[in-house]
Amino acid sequence: MTNAPRHTCTEIANAVRGGERTAVEVIEETLAAIDASNESINAFREVFHEEAMETARLIDAKVARGEDPGRLAGVPVGIKDNIATTEGTTTCGSRILEGYRSPFDATVVERLRSEGAIPIGRTNCDEFAMGSSTENCAFGTVRNPWDTSRVPGGSSGGSAAAVGSGMVPAAIGSDTGGSIRQPASFCGCVGLKPTYGRVSRYGLVAFGSSLDQIGPFTRTVEDATLLLEVMGGRDRRDSTSADQPIKDVVPESNVDLAGMRIGVPRQYVQSGANDPDVQACVDDVVARIESLGGQIVEIDLPLTETGISTYYVIAPAEASSNLARFDGIRYGYRATDDGSGLEQLYARTRAEGFGPEVQRRVMLGTYVLSSGYYDAYYKRALQVRRLIKDEFDRAFKSCDILLGPTSPFTAFELGGKPDPMSMYLCDVYTVNANIAGICGVSIPAGMDQADADGRRRPIGIHLQAQAFEESKLLGVTAALEKVLAFDDTLPG
């Protein structure tokens, strides 16, 4: 594991812009940290050594000329493997896209570059972002930096592990049902899922188009806010991006928890819902908020558990449509043509190129969209989606923020959830934010009890706010972060 000093994005950018450090020095340090740690963690599938150094030299030249290189000058950022970059290959963790080179950058990558950030490499993910452990990756399992016998969470496990291990100060991922927040919880870092439409999805390889959202992993709430400010805003290339001023995400300064109404849904803390260590951490956070004058409001969200079944109808339905484009004809993997016809070529290409979890979800999605089942499953799921959104709207009338655990448990052992249903339940507290289109963030709040080998794992707290209320969400989260003072130094 790397012993390199950990710096935040803000610290790095200020030092580079002020001439105290060069971007080249930052990138050399980052590449050394990746070389030292990646073999044991497998967070990065591909590292842009030469491209990153060349970009760093250009940034240093700007500084030397007295030009402003941007708010993220010299900051190395990991890019999840389902977000397009012109550097390297974009594979979505799948053999069906192995070797694919994108001719364009995703909008978020363009905007990061425009402010001086340096894409440092591609982070591993569950294939096509379908998973909660980053074990469903064609390029190897990612391991948790706090305990390499455990998963990092998923699907953005590579990005979370890259930040949690200290290899990079920031990475970006995508969140369709918890794929930023859950791995952030498991890896002890900050993971932000913005409101649907806050950040452009242009260049994100689609999984569930009405659910997907890009967001950052960082060490601090301040850094997460900075990356959101840079990445967010209207994009004419994404018709679902919202015309909301990005300046609105700036957190309300010096938020005082006194008087804030913090809603705690009873479904998130009911007896037996969480592992004892997770529940104890939530109870401790609630007690701290109360000691600072915050008002704890009991909230009822009866459709919490219904969200899982709703999500696993809507998301696979959208995936079955989105992944139909991967046929091996125009790009990506193609099976050997034995002359049996185009339909058979399609079938063999997808059977050989897609992994079992992707195949499972595509078949499920095709089924719920098929004639005779559409009304019974897909249409009903959309109706329940509306009810879930209404439930959140009612909740936010009586509280400012919702609080609970990010996951019912800490990072589980590799291979510890072989049953798909038990894996799907990992996201019970996170999927409804995507279904409702609201914003949420996970921050590290404590550690579980040491196991027989003395190893402990982070516990994340999940905060949610109404759509486009990132300012309130990040202000409260930053205030809580100061109180919790989580130490992200890895053991040993």
β-bridge pairing 401-405 and 261-265: parallel
Active-site residue, from 179, 185, 200, 442 = 179
DSSP, collapsed to helix, strand or coil, labels residue 412 as coil
**Number of Cα atoms under 13 Å in the Cβ half of residue 209:** 13
List all residues 6 or more positions away from 374 whose beta carbon is below 8 Å from its beta carbon.
368
Sign of CA dihedral 261, 266, 268, 269: positive
DSSP, collapsed to helix, strand or coil, labels residue 332 as coil
CA distance 399 to 313: 30
Active-site residue, from 37, 80, 174, 185 = 80
CA distance 390 to 411: 32
Active-site residue, from 155, 156, 241, 442 = 155
List all residues 6 or more positions away from 273 whose beta carbon is below 8 Å from its beta carbon.
267, 279, 408
Measured CA to CA in angstroms, residue 387 lies from 302, 360, 384, 434 at distances of 10, 27, 5, 14
CA distance 359 to 39: 29
Sign of CA dihedral 88, 183, 233, 230: negative
Three-class DSSP labels, 154-194: CCCHHHHHHHHCCCCCEEEEEECCCCCHHHHHHHCCEEEEC
Q: Is 80 a catalytic residue?
A: yes
DSSP, collapsed to helix, strand or coil, labels residue 349 as helix
Tokens encoding 255: 């938020």
87-96 burial: b if 16+ Cβ within 10 Å, else e: bbebbbbbbb
**How far is Cα of residue 3 from the mean position of the Cα atoms in its chain?**
25
Q: By CB neighbour count within 10 A (0-12 exposed, 13-18 middle, 19+ buried), where does 172 fall?
A: buried
CA distance 445 to 130: 27
Catalytically active residues, by annotation: 80, 155, 179
